[in-house]
């Protein structure tokens, strides 16, 4: 353990924590060359809009699954949830388990057949088929706004990494990394993004495993880490998932188990994993429906493992950092480090020459993975759901391909401007969660009601979606203008930012469902023949009964669900 201490002291003694040596620079340079080279090589396989936006629908289950989870494993995941873990403890692991796995399995078994059968390019594309053009345009515009707001997180995160570890100029680091992503997505489209995400998945794991391994060695294992946390934060429980959620005041997040189950497990999780086109697009690129379903289930299994490289570094930061981190609003004050710096601080603490280059490359890979996901999804939805129906209805395939390439670069430039919005939130994950609740949660209500019940009408789809979006935004604004409203929105004055988001998600989904049902009873539904392939009961869903038992998606989904239950019991 002693060999770790001098490096740890060095971390907190210098204005920029380390400098890159030749081995570190070589590792980072090789990564950038690989990314750009792969993107330019794959350009030859993106000759049509179908190739560019959907990778020709030729991906295997494993490639689709790795890309599916890698698109979600960006700098938001790594830095954001490490920061949130420092704030709230292991409670944040709910985002990976109950807040992800049931929704991913539901996507695989229930919703993918409809997305895949109707061959939609996007979730707004499904809403056009199920409802009408108005619902498609509202969802497309909200998705475009959300994507731009979210992509700023990746840029800001990269700037934090370079500032904390290397002392690099923030603007330089943002522009170099952003333009690299823009170039390879412009070149190869979704195909380039997918293969780079597979590469980034392995780099992220290889680089980020350094922290938990070295951290557990320093603290003397899991039990030693827990003892240090209890010593540093007496009277606070940062290490249990469920036993501390019996009341709002018994945990650092200020949340009750109802908020976790219905806010995180239902509203946010199902909204994100089943209707956010950024991740759904990856598995829609699979070569057939079974490959898409198996790829999604593979992604669910990998998702359960991610806390090892994201949550654990946040817990280790609670155990070993010699001072308390502060909200992002305190950034820039002398001697102050913020929640968002938890992961870079831990990386700098444990990484020497060579390892630092690998660790920084892992964070760069995470940044690019998240950025590429946002850019490719933005390009697809803008081209198919805004440009073609509103601006150029008779656009040829060649024109759509050109628009997709150029708006990828446009999305990069717009996103740079949104990076500074993150400064107004305590951490990047709070910002991201607020944006999800604004746009993604209402989308789930509209999609699932339309998919499950043929009586839901076109008018109800539009007004229900609008009601959910407005409810979320107005409740957020209400609490910002009148903090005492927190008692009504989140049921307790003890609720922190993240808990407020969870309960606001429940209200948003509830408003969406109620308005959708009410409007449906007063308006006319579509005839059955127009809903074939879009609604359960009117669609012939392919059966996996012809496959052996151990090759069926439902079998592996049940196995993943079993592992999820065991994890929750162990960390109860």
Look at residue 544 in the predicted model and tell me its pLDDT: 65
* HSE (side-chain half, CA atoms, 13 Å) at 296: 33
- DSSP letters, 338-397, are BGGGHHHHHHHHH--TTHHHHHHHHHHHHHHHHHHHHHHHHHHHHIIIIIIIII-TT--H
Contacts of residue 480, defined as CB under 8 A and 6 or more positions apart, other chains included, come to: none
For residues 82 and 217, is the Cβ–Cβ distance under 8 A? no
The domain that holds 498 is classified in CATH as 1.20.1730.10
Ramachandran region, residue 21 (left: φ > 0; alpha: ψ -120 to 50; beta: rest) = beta
3-state SS, residue 572: coil
| 3-state SS assignment for residue 106 | helix
What integer pLDDT is reported at residue 9 of this predicted model?
33
Q: What is the structure's pLDDT at 197?
A: 59
Give the integer Cα–Cα distance in Å for 405 and 48: 12
Domain enclosing residue 100, as ranges: 2-570
Tally of CA atoms within 13 A in the half-sphere of 561 that contains its CB: 13
C-alpha–C-alpha distance, residues 327 and 319, integer Å: 18
Q: Is the pTM of this model over 0.85?
A: no
Q: Which two structure tokens, joined as six digits, stand for 272?
A: 């994100």
DSSP letters spanning 415-484 = HHHHGGGGGGSSSHHHHHHHHHHHHHHHHHHHHHHHHH-TT--HHHHHHHHHHHHHHHHHHHHHHHH-GG
Q: Which residues of the chain have pLDDT under 50?
A: 1-17, 46-56, 188-190
Q: What is residue 456's predicted lDDT score, i.e. its pLDDT?
A: 95
Question: From residue 414, how far is each of 333, 375, 383, 385, 411 by CA, in Å?
Answer: 29, 11, 16, 19, 5
* CA pair distance 472, 461, nearest whole angstrom: 17
Chain CA centroid to CA 458, Å:
29
Encoding tokens for residue 83?
């920061």
Q: CA dist 166 to 16, 159, 181, 356, 528, Å?
A: 5, 10, 21, 10, 61
CA distance 217 to 239: 19
**Three-class SS string for 265-296?**
HHHHHHHHHHHCHHHHHHHHCECCHHHHHHHH
Name the 3-class secondary structure at 91.
Answer: helix
Give the integer Cα–Cα distance in Å for 539 and 450.
Answer: 13
Are 252 and 88 in contact by the 8 Å Cβ rule? The answer is: yes
Q: CA–CA separation, 273 vs 282, rounded Å?
A: 12
Q: Which residues contact 156 (CB under 8 A, 6 or more apart)?
A: 419, 420, 422, 423, 428
Which stretches within 118-256 are classed as H helix? Answer: 123-130, 133-161, 170-208, 210-219, 221-232
Question: Residue 470 to residues 272, 442, 490: CA-CA distances in angstroms?
Answer: 18, 9, 17
Backbone angles phi, psi at 511, to 5 degrees: -60, -40
DSSP state of 261: I
Asked if 29 and 259 count as a contact pair (C-beta separation under 8 A), the reply is no
Comparing C-alpha atoms, which of 201, 252, 204, 227 is closest to residue 89? Answer: 252
Structure tokens at 67: 């890309």
pLDDT at res. 211 = 86
According to the model, what pLDDT value does residue 171 have?
Answer: 64
Give the three-state DSSP class for 323: coil
- pLDDT value at residue 251: 86
- Is the Cβ–Cβ distance between 189 and 376 less than 8 Å? yes
Q: Write out the H or E segment, with its range, that includes residue 315.
A: helix 307-320
Quote the tokens at residue 23: 């081995």
Q: How many domains does the chain have?
A: 1
Contact 248, 256 (CB under 8 A): yes
Please state, in angstroms and rounded to a whole number, the distance separating the CA atoms of residues 510 and 515: 9
Q: Which pLDDT score, from 0 to 100, does residue 405 have?
A: 66
Among candidates 280, 300, 441, 310, which has minimal Cα distance to 373?
280
The DSSP code for 530 is G
Helices (H) and strands (E) in the chain, counts: 26, 0
How far is it, in rounded angstroms, from Cα 280 to Cα 537? 23
Task: Please report, for residues 12, 61, 189, 201, 230, the alpha-carbon distance to residue 42 in angstroms, rounded to integers and kept in the order given.
Answer: 44, 20, 9, 19, 51
How is residue 262 annotated by DSSP? I
- What residues form DSSP beta bridges with 326? 338
């Amino acid at each position: 353990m002693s060999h770790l201490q001098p490096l740890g002291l060095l971390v907190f003694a210098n204005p920029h924590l380390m400098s890159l040596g030749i081995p570190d620079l070589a590792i980072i340079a090789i990564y950038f060359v690989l990314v750009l080279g792969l993107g330019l090589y794959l350009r030859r396989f993106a000759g049509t809009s179908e190739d560019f936006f959907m990778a020709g629908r030729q991906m295997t289950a494993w490639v689709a699954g790795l890309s599916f989870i890698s698109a979600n494993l960006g700098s938001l995941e790594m830095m954001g949830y490490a920061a949130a873990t420092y704030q709230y403890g292991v409670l944040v692991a709910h985002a990976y388990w109950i807040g992800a796995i049931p929704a991913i399995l539901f996507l695989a078994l229930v919703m993918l057949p409809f997305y895949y059968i109707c061959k939609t390019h996007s979730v707004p594309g499904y809403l056009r088929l199920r409802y009408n053009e108005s619902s498609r345009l509202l969802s497309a515009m909200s998705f475009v706004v959300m994507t731009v707001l979210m992509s700023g997180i990746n840029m800001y995160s990269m700037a934090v990494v370079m500032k904390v570890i290397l002392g690099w100029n923030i603007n330089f680091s943002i522009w170099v990394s952003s333009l690299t992503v823009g170039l390879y997505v412009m070149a190869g489209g979704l195909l380039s993004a997918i293969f780079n995400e597979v590469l980034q998945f392995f780099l992220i794991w290889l680089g980020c495993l350094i922290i938990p391994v070295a951290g557990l060695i320093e603290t003397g294992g899991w039990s030693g880490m827990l003892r240090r946390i209890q010593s540093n934060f007496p009277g606070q429980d940062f290490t249990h998932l469920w036993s501390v959620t019996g009341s709002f005041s018994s945990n650092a997040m200020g949340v009750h188990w109802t908020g976790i189950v219905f806010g995180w497990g239902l509203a946010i999780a199902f909204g994100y994993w089943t209707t956010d086109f950024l991740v759904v697009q990856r598995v829609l690129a699979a070569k057939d429906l079974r490959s898409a379903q198996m790829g999604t289930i593979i992604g669910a299994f990998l998702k359960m493992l991610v806390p090892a490289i994201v949550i654990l570094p946040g817990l280790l930061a609670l155990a070993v950092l010699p001072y308390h981190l502060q909200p992002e609003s305190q950034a820039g004050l002398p001697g102050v480090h913020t929640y968002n710096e938890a992961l870079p601080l831990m990386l700098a603490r444990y990484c020497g020459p060579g390892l630092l280059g690998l660790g920084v490359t892992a964070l760069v890979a995470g940044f690019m993975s998240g950025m590429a996901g946002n850019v490719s999804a933005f390009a697809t939805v803008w081209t198919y759901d805004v440009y073609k129906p509103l601006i150029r209805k008779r656009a040829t395939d060649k024109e759509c391909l050109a628009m997709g390439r150029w708006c990828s670069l446009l999305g990069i430039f717009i996103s740079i401007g949104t990076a500074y919005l993150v400064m107004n939130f305590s951490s990047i994950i709070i910002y991201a969660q607020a944006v999800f609740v604004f746009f993604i949660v209402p989308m789930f209500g509209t999609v699932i009601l339309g998919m499950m019940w043929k009586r839901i009408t076109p008018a109800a789809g539009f007004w229900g979606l609008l009601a959910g979006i407005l409810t979320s935004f107005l409740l957020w604004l209400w609490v910002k203008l009148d903090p005492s409203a927190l008692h009504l929105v989140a049921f307790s004055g003890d609720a922190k930012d993240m808990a407020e988001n969870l309960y606001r998600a429940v209200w948003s989904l509830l408003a969406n469902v109620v308005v959708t049902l009410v409007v449906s009873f007063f308006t006319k539904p579509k005839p059955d023949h127009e809903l074939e392939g879009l609604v359960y009961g009117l669609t012939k869903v392919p059966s996996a009964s012809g496959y052996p038992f151990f090759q069926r998606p439902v079998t592996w989904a049940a196995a993943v669900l079993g592992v999820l239950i065991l994890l929750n019991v162990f960390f109860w």
